Every structure is written in C-alpha cells, then in structure tokens.
Structure 1
Amino acid sequence: MPVGKSNWQMTSLPPLSLYVHIPWCLKKCPYCDFNSHEKRGDLAEDAYIDSLILDLESALPLIWGRRVITIFFGGGTPSLLSAKGLDRILEAFRARLRIHTDAEITLEANPGTFEIQKFKDYRAAGITRLSIGIQSFNQRHLKALGRVHDSEEAKRAVNIAAETFDTFNLDLMYGLPNQTLAEAMEDIETALSFSPKHLSCYHLTLEPNTLFYRYPPELPDDDLTADMQESIENRLAAAGFEHYETSAFAQKGHRCQHNLNYWSFGDYLGIGAGAHGKLSFHDKILRQIRHKQPTAYMENVANSSQILEEHAVELTDLPFEFMMNTLRLTEGFPVELFAQHTGLPINRVGKALQNAESEGLITRNHEMITPTLKGQRFLNQLLHHFLPA
C-alpha cells in the first residue's frame, strides 16, 4: 500500500542534506553511467546558476524550517564552474536555507581543471572538502579509462588540494583493464604519499548504457580483483584508515558526513539536471528526479516543471531501501535507526534478520545490527533477504 494511505507516520524527520548536480564534463568517460554531458563551447554558467536558484526556491515549501547539515556539488565536473559562480550559488543558498554552522560542503573536482588560485577561491567561497577523481596514477590505465588528465596532472592536482584544503578525498579504481595486483597497490602507495584524509576505492564495474558495457575491455578475473580488494583494505588499515563503508576509508574524524547521511537513510534534496532526492514527511516519503538534459532542465525550471518523476515510496519497499544503504556501513547501524528513519517497527524485518544471521551475513544484539565480513563481501546476497515478498 502506498505510504500516506495508511495509519503509518514518521514521528521524527531524518537529517537533511542538499545535493547539487553540475552536469558537464570535458569528456564522457567510457565507464561512466552518471548524468554527464560533454561540454561543447562556452559553459552556460550564469543561466544554469539562475536555474539552480529557481529550482531551490520552488522546493523550499518541502523543506521549510529544516536545517541542512551538508552540501555536495557532484557531477559531471563541478570544478568546471568558476569560483565566482560557485560563490554566487552558495550565497543564494545561505540566503534561503538554514545551513548548519559547521556544514560540510564538498566539491567534486577532476585533475584537468585544477588551478591554484581557483581552488583557493573555492575555499574562500565556503567549500570545506574536495573530492578528486584520480582513478589511477598509472598513465596506461588513465588512457584505457579515457581520462583527460595524465599521471603528472593527477599528482599536481593532489598537491594543490593538500596545500589548499584540510580534508580531501581521492577517488581510485581497481580491477582496471589488464591491471596487475602490483599496479593496483602502486596506486594506493602513491595516494598515501600525499597524506590524504579520505580515500574512496571502487571496483570498476561495467554499467549498462556505457561504452565499456557495449565493448567490454579485458578485465582482471574475480580472484585477482578479490586479492586487490583485500590487499587495499589491509594496507589502508595499516596506514590508520577506518574502513567505514564498502568503498570508503577515512582517517579518524574525516568521514564524509554527506555520504554518511545517505547511508543512514537520511533525507536529501537534489537540485540540478538529473538530480535525485529523497524527502520524508510525517505521512509519506517522496522520491524525486529532475529532468536530465541540461537544456530541458533549464527550460522546465522556468516553467516550474523541473521534476521529471515523483512518487511516494511503498511501505513494502521501505525495509529494502533502508537496508540497501545502511548495510554498506561496515559498523552497521543502531537498531533504533530503523524505526526513526522508516517509521516501521524493527519486527517488520524480524524474519529477514533471523535468516541473514543464520547464514552468517550479520551479527546483532539489542543495540546494533552489523554486516559480517561475509555480509560485506556478499552484500547482494544479504540484501536479498529484505526484498518485498
């Protein structure tokens, strides 16, 4: 039955984040399935910023009075924006939103867009954290991935980030075409040489609607990528990183608060072309998607019709959606969080939890539910228990 057509209700609302999508890239990577579009000619920066502000204004009644705890500029390549443009966006946000005093504000950046003064200006505008799409420091692998930067530009970008920001993340991928274990670990060692506070290490996957999916490259086999994953986890643990989510590693005190809100089944308003959002109310939970094409998005914002899809989450889907996020956390989640963020009692998933525990996929007590190492490795098997009957 649809949420909102029953006696179901939320007794409290989850924390709220803001996601801002910047849809342009210098070049579309062959493995990327995100909503990104190659930049052709001059960036329509001013017009797009106007649309973002209008989009936010139209959404304000949905989040009225709620405090925003984090802001994340994703893409695409948000670092294509000028520092002046980013400052204008953040000023507009501050004038219209209750933003937490210590809000984490993250900007995704690609090495091909790094300029020292520009990134100093980003920090002055209010950005507190950079997330840099390195993927690899190996020139052969960068070429295979279709990246626009080379290994020297990657290193230069990280140096600039280290000089400019207290906290920055490096995105790295493993399981790359013809990659060896030694090469995967060399990328990790190079990353560690810059003393980052956060690393995201992803297994390359072939996603539908990508060039790699249509024309698959030769990838390492499952045994080799499993060795890469285990070696990466062991090396980062030895370097003092907490492995707190499937692909995320952080020095103490530097976990990504924005992503933690996602993984805790928190709320997020998504604005910008193709942005997704999840918003809770006392009588329903809404999911929204904006129009994906930048031009179509801007035209529809002008007509107050930027939302392409909107639906209330079905009660039967809530347990799976909650677990799909929270079971990515290696430490698991407090039992009480399930009721707080879904409005459902934990006994709603009692049988599923019992079955998952009997298979050695989770451990639990009256306070915490935690995926085991087996549960982390076979997450899809674990999540299967929570699918609607």
Structure 2
Amino acid sequence: MDNKDAKPDADLLPDTGEPGFGVYVHWPFCAAKCPYCDFNSHVRHQPVDQARFAAALLREVETMRQISGPKTVTSIFLGGGTPSLMDPRTVDAILSGIARSWHVPNGIEITMEANPSSVEAERFRGYRAAGVNRVSLGVQALNDRDLKFLGRLHNVEDALKAIRLAREIFPRMSFDLIYARPNQTVEEWEAELKAAISHAVDHLSLYQLTIEEGTPFFGLHKAGKLVVPDGDQSALLYEATQEITAREGLPAYEVSNHARPGAESRHNLTYWRYGDYAGIGPGAHGRLSRGREKLATSTERRPESWLEMVERGGNGMVEQEALGYEEQADELLLMGLRLKEGVDLARWQELSGRGPDPKREAFLLDHGFIERLGNSRLRCTPEGMLILDSVVADLAC
C-alpha cells in the first residue's frame, strides 16, 4: 500500500463504537464451487487476467469516491469468492488504489478471506507486506468426512497448517465453521467446537448450515436425500455454541460471531451498526450517505459482464436506489438487533420519526425476547436471538 499514512505494521486503532466507513472488494473467483454456497462465486478453468480485473476494480473505486466524497476509511475487507487466489501484487495494487481515493489511516483493520487449500506461506507474507493485518479462513469443519461432504478442497491437516501460518504472520486471525450438519449431535459439535477454540486466537465465525435455493444442496434437500437438523435440534446446537464460547472467553457479539473483548471484526461491525460502505467488484453491494440520504448500490454479478461495463463506463453498477428514512430505519433495526450491543434508539427514532410501538415492545419485553439497556439502547435477549426475524418484524411494524 503506497499511502504515506498507512503502515502495515501499525497497531490496530481502538473501536470507537461509531459505525465507520468500510470498503468491501469482491474477488469472485474460486477453485471450486461448494454445494451449499449461494455467494457470487465463479470457477474459471483458464487463468484469470488479474491485472485487468485489478485495473477495473480501481476504476470502480474512483467512481465510488465520486459518489461518497472524501471519507476516512475505518476498515477494508477483501471477500469472495477466494481472494487468496490473488497474487500479492494484485492485493497491493488494490489497497494502494483505495488509499489514493480515500484517507486510510495507520492501524485500520484490513481483512482478507482465504481458503486453507490456497494457502502458501510466501503468499501470506506477501499479503502481509501489502497491508493485510487480519485473515479470515474458511475452515468450515474439523473432520475430513464433513469437509468432503461440504465440498471443500482441503482436509483437516491443511486447515491446521493454514491456521498455524495465519497465527504466525498476521496480528489478527479468524476462521469459520459450519454446524447443524446432517446427523450432527450436540456432543459431536461440542467436541469439535472445543477443538476449534484451542486453535483460535481471538475470533470465530460459527454458522448454522442453511439450505439456499439454487445450490446443489437445495435439490438434494428437496428430494429428501439431505436432511438437516430440525428446529429443536438446531436450537440445542445454537445454545451449546453460546454456552461453550462464552465459557472459553469468546462470547457472541453478534448472532454468528464470537470474539475476545476488543477482537470483534471492525468491518462487520460497520455493517451491523449501519455505517457506510463502498461495495467494489462483481455482485458487490454498498451503502453510501449523502447528507441524510443513503444510497443503496449493487453491481453486475457476472464477472466478465461487470468487467466490460467498468471498462466501458467506469463502473459496473446495475442499481442505485435512494433509501427513504423509513427504509433506513428498518435496515438499522434489522442489522443492529443482530448485535449484543443492540440498537441505538435515538438514531432509530431520528430516522423513523417514531419510537418502538409501546404495545409491541411491552409484549416482547414481557416474553423475555428483548431488553432495554438504559434509555439509549434496545437489544435481543439470548431467547430473542433464536427468533430474531420475528422480533425484527414485530418492532418494524
């Protein structure tokens, strides 16, 4: 990164509690498509022209800068797809371009997603030199049987090697696991989770397996060939997850994310606190404020079509929608109630022009699904998190 203010070895800045401004860059290519994945990821059997795509990403950065105006970046996230398939020089070019467009201070969080199967020590050190100071590994399981079932290209040995390398090279590291897999018992998950915590540094992302339309798993599930745990079993697995992570010092700060205090993902907090973020790359979404107006952006999903659009017109945007205050208030509620810290009521009231409906709030309070934190914040209880969508729908009405 060539911004004179941005130094890869700077200590991470403290979390101010403010929503912040993030930059998300989507690298859409993967070595293989996992059968559960509905993300915008694509397999290409010929080498990707990284220089051409990097140049297009930077052109779209410039367009987003024109929309956002001058901003101070509080986090950068390289997601995918599989960003760790990029050459470190590509990553350096992208980060340098972001630093030319916005102010990138010392010590912001710069995260890259990586798959254990594409991890090499030399490449990791190259990413670190480029400015990446946090890596998020898509481990997904810690037994080879389920890794094969999930369509992963790595085995447990590969995963543990990648974790060790990440711990050695990056100041901050997280990895993902998927649970509520077919026939998974609470006892099996507890043992796997305890093993994961023994390898973790300060952050884990723990997601329940969901069956998404359009994926191979969806077809198998519909045909009765793939059975996932029912609601009661899923709730038991979720409760065991919360209990064990809290006991081991990585409590949930969001529905699926767990961290030691101070190690929460800054970039994801920007989403959940309803901050602004520029979405760069194929299929990326963004939220950019202009005064009190917030613009929702989204880009063309197909990588080659996106590339042609950017080269022709400077961006691949297919949607720019100005969100009304009520829409912003609903999004704030939807995102903020995922967090343990809850929602800033004053901000919600400023956007919506109203507070929570007294009768609906009283019902949810009486049933133990929400709670007030003084007069300033509202959050879900652990019981409310189990029915989060219903709680949000109730309060948003």
Q: TM-score, normalised by structure 2?
A: 0.90
Q: Match for residue 153 of structure 2?
A: 148
Q: Match for residue 26 of structure 1?
A: 31
Counterpart Cα distance in 2 of 1:233 and 1:75? 27
CA contact (8 A) 2:68 2:290 kept: no
Q: How does 1:229-268 map to 2 (within 5 A)?
A: 229-268=238-277
Q: Match for residue 316 of structure 1?
A: 326
2:347 partner letter: L
Q: Give the 3-state SS of the residue equivalent to 2:108 in structure 1.
A: strand
2:198 is equivalent to residue 193 of structure 1: yes
Counterpart Cα distance in 2 of 1:72 and 1:327? 22
Counterpart Cα distance in 1 of 2:256 and 2:132? 23
For residue 384 of structure 1, the aligned residue among 371, 375, 393 is: 393
Counterpart Cα distance in 2 of 1:197 and 1:327? 23
Q: Give the 3-state SS of the residue equivalent to 1:49 in structure 2.
A: helix
Q: Match for residue 281 of structure 1?
A: 290
Counterpart Cα distance in 2 of 1:355 and 1:229? 24
CA contact (8 A) 2:19 2:269 kept: no
Aligned CA RMSD, in angstroms, stands at 1.8
Q: Match for residue 82 of structure 1?
A: 87
58-67 or 292-301: bigger deviation: 58-67
2:191 partner letter: E
Q: How does 1:286-365 map to 2 (within 5 A)?
A: 286-304=295-313, 305-339=315-349, 343-347=351-355, 352-364=360-372, 365=374
Q: How does 1:204-223 map to 2 (within 5 A)?
A: 204-216=209-221, 217-223=226-232
Counterpart Cα distance in 1 of 2:346 and 2:102? 29
Q: Match for residue 162 of structure 1?
A: 167
CA contact (8 A) 2:134 2:170 kept: yes
Q: Match for residue 6 of structure 1?
A: none
Q: Match for residue 5 of structure 1?
A: none
2:380 is equivalent to residue 375 of structure 1: no
The unaligned stretches of length 5 or more in structure 2 are 1-17
Which one scores higher on RCO, CA 8 angstroms, separation ≥ 6?
1
Q: Give the 3-state SS of the residue equivalent to 1:269 in structure 2.
A: strand
Q: Give the 3-state SS of the residue equivalent to 1:31 in structure 2.
A: coil
264-273 or 226-235: bigger deviation: 226-235
CA contact (8 A) 1:141 1:177 kept: no
1:150-178: CA deviation from partner (whole Å, max 9, x where unpaired) = 11111111111111112111101101122
Note closer, same or farther for the CA distance 1:318–1:353 as it changes in structure 2 (3 Å cut).
farther
Q: TM-score, normalised by structure 1?
A: 0.91
Q: Give the 3-state SS of the residue equivalent to 2:100 in structure 1.
A: helix
Counterpart Cα distance in 1 of 2:360 and 2:310? 43
Q: Match for residue 104 of structure 1?
A: 109
Q: Give the 3-state SS of the residue equivalent to 2:297 in structure 1.
A: strand
CA contact (8 A) 1:16 1:67 kept: yes
Counterpart Cα distance in 2 of 1:79 and 1:179? 30
1:321-370: CA deviation from partner (whole Å, max 9, x where unpaired) = 1111000012313323325xx63445375665444334432112312212
Q: Match for residue 8 of structure 1?
A: none
1:244-285: CA deviation from partner (whole Å, max 9, x where unpaired) = 100010012100011011001111110000000011122421
Q: Give the 3-state SS of the residue equivalent to 2:291 in structure 1.
A: coil
1:87 partner letter: D
CA contact (8 A) 1:170 1:196 kept: no
CA contact (8 A) 1:70 1:105 kept: yes
99-108 or 303-312: bigger deviation: 303-312
Counterpart Cα distance in 1 of 2:218 and 2:155? 24
1:108 partner letter: E
1:116 partner letter: A
1:284 partner letter: E
CA contact (8 A) 1:162 1:194 kept: no
CA contact (8 A) 2:174 2:200 kept: no
